[in-house]
A and B are shown apart, each in its own frame.
Chain A
């Protein structure tokens, strides 16, 4: 491929952010086929959940950046997907976070998003990011506020 990129593993106090692996499929499919995914394009069929995992990996190759699988370091359990996202049709590069079942309420989304944002600004040299949060997704909006993001416009997609 012509895109060259470094895909660093990021670590925080409690989390490891690494590239998506095939072994993440069960955890990711459990999330994307559950009602909890309804703010982020779900619930999906298992077939679509496979495409979702494959597109996470493909995003890294096509764009040179992407979203990491967030692993709870102590247990090595995948707890979510967090990182930098810019498919065709998005207005700007996004900082996004999805937490799997059982991983909420621990501050993991905020902790992982701070590490991903630091990578974007300090390593990639970006100066801004957006986060697209669905109306009614209050938990996600609280993460955005903890990150000191400010409300901008509505975007329909």
Chain B
């Protein structure tokens, strides 16, 4: 079954999730940092969500990577297109373990390159809660632009559109 490919950057590595990553995401969902994302109700649902991130690769050839900074889990970057999303999405969760080193920007840049070269979706957006200013800042830094008219699954989100170039 397909899993996430390992992609190495200058200071970090994108790699498949492993079960030992899950505790860190459990802690994230308990923290204030998770105020803009949907939270699992219990450990089994946390596990289910985590398994779904992994299983997405097997089903669709895209999904989530763990962001690995020198052996330390820094977060997650994902490219997904579940049936209820109008378009393919680039999304991210950054943990509070390592901040201020441009980890999120580098991880997203690596995932963007893989998306453009290999996944080649018709379009790519990021759905971000309208109040999540830090996430919006990252989308802008990646070169995405606000698309006020794009369809969205969640009315509280804004949509930032990435340029994926001409696709076959």
Contacts and interface: CB of A to CB of B under 8 A. Distances in A.
B16 A1 contact: yes
A88 B1 contact: no
B55 A56 contact: yes
Interface in B1-56: 1, 3, 16, 18-19, 22, 42-44, 46-56
A125 interface: no
A149 interface: no
Interface stretch (A20-28, A101-109, A139-147): A20-28
B55 A89 contact: no
Interface of A: 1-2, 7, 19-22, 25, 29, 46-47, 50-62, 87-90, 157
B167 to A, nearest CB: 20
- Interface SS majority for chain A: helix
B84 A19 contact: no
Interface residues of B, number: 28
A1 B43 CA distance: 22
A66 B50 CA distance: 15
Given A19-B1, A46-B83, A58 B56 contact: yes
B3 A87 contact: no
B43 A58 contact: no
B52 A88 contact: no
A1 B83 CA distance: 26
Given A1-B16, A88-B43, A55 B55 contact: yes
A53 B44 contact: no
Contact of B56 (A54, A60, A88): A54
A55 B44 contact: no
Contact of A54 (B18, B42, B59): B59
A69 B35 CA distance: 36
A15 B60 CA distance: 25
B135 to A, nearest CB: 20
A134 to B, nearest CB: 15
B44 A87 contact: yes
A7 to B, nearest CB: 7
Contact of B44 (A7, A56, A57, A88): A88
A29 to B, nearest CB: 8
A90 B84 contact: no
A54 B55 contact: yes
Interface in B48-92: 48-60, 82-84
A57 B53 CA distance: 10
A62 B51 contact: yes
A50 B84 contact: yes
Contact of A7 (B1, B3, B54): B1
B54 A21 contact: no
A56 B60 CA distance: 13
Contacts of A90: 44
A-B pairs, 9 with minimum CB distance: A58-B55, A57-B55, A58-B51, A54-B52, A88-B47, A89-B44, A58-B54, A55-B51, A54-B55
